[in-house]
Amino acid sequence: MKKHIIFLSVITIFLALLLYGLSPLNSKINLVKTDTNKQSQATQQPDSSQNDNEAKAVDDLISAINNPVSLNDKTSIEAARKAYDDLTDEQKAFIEKLPDLEKAELDFSKLEQDTNATYFNIGDIVDFKGGKVYVSPTASKSSATRPASKCTITLVSKTSEHIYHLVSLDSKEVYGWVNAEDVEK
């Protein structure tokens, strides 16, 4: 299932790049002119409106990255970075959201390090610090807010936004998915 989601994400990004006139295979615009006697190749320089269009497409990719980032945003961040890197220096001058991309990359890197450093296993007894509880590892809205509680980890979804599924061992009614930062040993 994860492979299908990743595949669909890559296809969606690829189509978005094509829709905005960016070719992920070759970002340079080459015109090949064929003469009856000879072939010559001429490179067309993108005009200002095309620079603006390509920059807007990259800015749109950057805007599509969640804020705050989650572990699910890796593909979006990488696609936005690749699209930016494929621009010419002239086109890069039109980018308005580069600081957002750099922040997303930094936040993702920190999140990935934090997740790896505090990764717990199924069956571990942990302390839930209190906070939002979700019905699924990818839910966008919380289903409840619960107080601090001693819990057991029943499921782990390391690549999701809400990594741990917890069940209270006391009477605090924690039952659901929570964020990694809300759990400690």
> Using CA atoms, how far apart are residues 33 and 38, in angstroms rounded to an integer?
9
Over the stretch 60-101, which tens digit does the pLDDT of each residue have? 999 999 888 887 888 999 999 999 999 999 999 999 999 999
Q: Give the H or E element holding residue 142.
A: none
> Using CA atoms, how far apart are residues 128 and 114, in angstroms rounded to an integer?
16
Question: Which of the residue ranges 36-40, 60-64, 113-117, 178-182 would you say has the lowest mean pLDDT?
Answer: 36-40
Q: Please say if the pLDDT value at position 38 is more than 90.
A: no
Stated pTM of the model? 0.43
Question: Which of the residue ranges 30-34, 52-56, 139-143 would you say has the lowest mean pLDDT?
Answer: 30-34
> Using CA atoms, how far apart are residues 47 and 166, in angstroms rounded to an integer?
55
Domain ranges across the chain = 2-116, 125-184
52 CB-near residues (< 8 Å, 6+ apart): 94
Q: Please say if the pLDDT value at position 105 is more than 60.
A: yes
Confidence of residue 157 (pLDDT cuts 50, 70, 90): confident
Cβ-based burial of 57 (10 A; exposed 0-12, middle 13-18, buried ≥19): buried
Which of 132, 135, 165 has the alpha carbon at shortest distance from 146? Answer: 132
Average pLDDT, the chain: 79
pLDDT of residue 81: 95
Pairing of strands 164-168, 144-146: unpaired
Q: Please say if the pLDDT value at position 41 is more than 50.
A: no
pLDDT of residue 119: 72
